[in-house]
Amino acid sequence: MPHPNDPKLRSFIDVDATSDFPIQNLPYGVFSSKDGLAPRVGVAIGNYVLDLWELEQDSRLDVGALGVFAGPTLNAFMALGPKVWSQTRARISELLRHDNPELRDNSELRSRALVPMANVKLYLPIAVAGYTDFYSSREHATNVGVMFRGKDNALQPNWLHMPIGYNGRASTVVVSGTKVRRPRGQLKPPTAEVPSFGACKRLDFELEMGFVVGQPSKMGEMLTESQAEEMIFGFVILNDWSARDIQQWEYVPLGPFQGKAFGTSISPWIVTREALEPFRVHGPAQDPAPLPYLKQAQANNYDLQLDVGLRTPAMNEAMRISRTNFKYMYWSSVQQLVHHASSGCAMNVGDVLGSGTISGPDKDARGSLLEISWNGTEPIELPGGAKRTFLEDGDSLVMRGWCQGDGYRVGFGEVEGTILPAE
């Protein structure tokens, strides 16, 4: 049987070469459709969602545990482990192949199991157990450091020795399309003598990738590189919305809190680690060498292109304001997970870990408005004469990501969010 990543594979479903969802991808999500059934697990293929619950009911798909695809999250499926993940993806690929009549020629099953993407509603695909955000792009950390501490003191002394992160709020991780209300909090501009309470005036986005932990680790135990890799179920695009003025006043001495807690948006489709395997690359050279527990024996970064578009209420289409690549990350996802567990911290099925803002070496590859507008001093010029330094009410952010193969792409769809006024 061909491997599901074989670039020569074709589905009996017509999939355009520019689609995010060819047979080589098969990302998981949770959806409902106009048939009135409750949210359940599906896989994206071209312009359709393949209903895994229908395949399970028809005895075409067996993962050894009944009902895992009938629920409103992927957690029960993820808990079955990497061997089942791989076997399931291979079976789905087999069912969708152009030369397999099993589903292709069964018109009744096909009509039940293949739902047009235009007819579905997508949900948060997992029950988020915990959320941690990292700060792992050297370019981003350097840009921010130069702005606030000067060129000679851009990186803090610990930054080159470990992945820096903080524990965020799982309760406000939401799926693409969820509107985000402008947060309120304590504000103290440099010119003010005392703080005040009010709506954020410097609202920003952060372009990130998130990965989903699909297997638990025990409290008190460390992880090896290979163990951490096996625990990663897949990846999503992640927008960690940021209130820069709230954060600036609160972050000393304990770091981000309310400036980050109000909303984190993720894309609805989880692209599996296995689907990204052909796009592995080595990350930047790490100097000084990491401590032994953080050393990597293999390439753990991915050649994954990322776009950010901004749309104001007066615009019909989003204008691209950033293009970068996940391969630039100094600390890999595997290193982040190894470090997270190194103290003995237990990891759970459904944990989400954000990469931190992804910025590249060029000016047009910056992953936040803080960097793009250089702390508000260089406004973005938009169609119709509009300008932006930070986000205004009614603005929408659209992030997209994909890995480019030979004649196909493995993509993530998009994560979109629109800013509502503060209450």
| Cα(189)–Cα(330) distance, integer angstroms | 32
| Cα(159)–Cα(161) distance, integer angstroms | 6
Range of 191's domain? 131-420
Looking at the domain assignment, is residue 190 inside a domain? yes
User: Given a cut of 90, is residue 419 above it in pLDDT?
Assistant: yes
Q: Evaluate the CA torsion angle 77, 42, 323, 395 in order and state its sign.
A: negative
Q: Tens digits of per-residue pLDDT, 327-362?
A: 999 999 999 999 999 999 999 999 999 999 999 999
pLDDT at res. 1: 81
Q: Tens digits of per-residue pLDDT, 96-111?
A: 999 999 999 999 999 9
**CATH number of 108's domain:** 2.30.30.230
User: Given a cut of 90, is residue 292 above it in pLDDT?
Assistant: yes
Percent of the chain with pLDDT over 90: 96
Q: Can you tell me whether residue 268 is helix, strand or coil?
A: coil
pLDDT classification of 384: cutoffs 50, 70, 90: confident
Are 341 and 204 in a shared domain? yes
Q: Tens digits of per-residue pLDDT, 220-243?
A: 999 999 999 999 999 999 999 999
Looking at the domain assignment, is residue 7 inside a domain? no
**Torsion, Cα of 290, 291, 294, 297 (10° steps):** 70
Q: Can you tell me whether residue 274 is helix, strand or coil?
A: helix
pLDDT at res. 34: 78
pLDDT classification of 294: cutoffs 50, 70, 90: very high
Residue type, 319: M
Average pLDDT over residues 183-210: 97
User: Given a cut of 90, is residue 198 above it in pLDDT?
Assistant: yes
- Asked if 201 and 245 touch (Cβ cutoff 8 Å), the reply is yes
Residues sharing a CB contact under 8 Å with residue 82, sequence separation 6 or more, in sequence order: 214, 215, 230
Nearest to 246 by CA among 237, 228, 261, 259: 259
Looking at the domain assignment, is residue 331 inside a domain? yes
Looking at the domain assignment, is residue 282 inside a domain? yes
- What is the count of structural domains for the chain? 2
Q: In what side-by-side order are the strands of the sheet with 396-404?
A: 180-181, 409-420, 396-404, 305-311, 319-325
- Asked if 143 and 363 touch (Cβ cutoff 8 Å), the reply is no
User: Given a cut of 90, is residue 37 above it in pLDDT?
Assistant: no
Q: How far is CA 163 from the centre of its chain?
A: 18
Catalogue the active-site residues.
140
User: Given a cut of 80, is residue 35 above it in pLDDT?
Assistant: no
Residues sharing a CB contact under 8 Å with residue 128, sequence separation 6 or more, in sequence order: 170, 173, 350, 351, 352
User: Given a cut of 80, is residue 418 above it in pLDDT?
Assistant: yes
In DSSP terms, 126 is beta-bridged to none
Are 158 and 283 in a shared domain? yes
Instruction: Decide the pairing of beta strands 352-354 and 131-134.
Output: parallel
> Residue 179 has which token pair?
């509107």
User: Given a cut of 90, is residue 82 above it in pLDDT?
Assistant: yes
Q: Tens digits of per-residue pLDDT, 238-279?
A: 999 999 999 999 999 999 999 999 999 999 999 999 999 999
- The mean pLDDT of the chain is 97
Looking at the domain assignment, is residue 156 inside a domain? yes
Q: Can you tell me whether residue 184 is helix, strand or coil?
A: strand
**CATH number of 245's domain:** 3.90.850.10
Looking at the domain assignment, is residue 182 inside a domain? yes
Looking at the domain assignment, is residue 6 inside a domain? no
At which of 123, 149, 169 does a domain end? 123
Are 289 and 401 in a shared domain? yes
Are 323 and 393 in a shared domain? yes
**Placement of tokens 């919305």 in the chain:** 241
At which of 65, 91, 123 does a domain end? 123
Average pLDDT over residues 35-46: 92
pLDDT at res. 36: 78
Are 42 and 176 in a shared domain? no
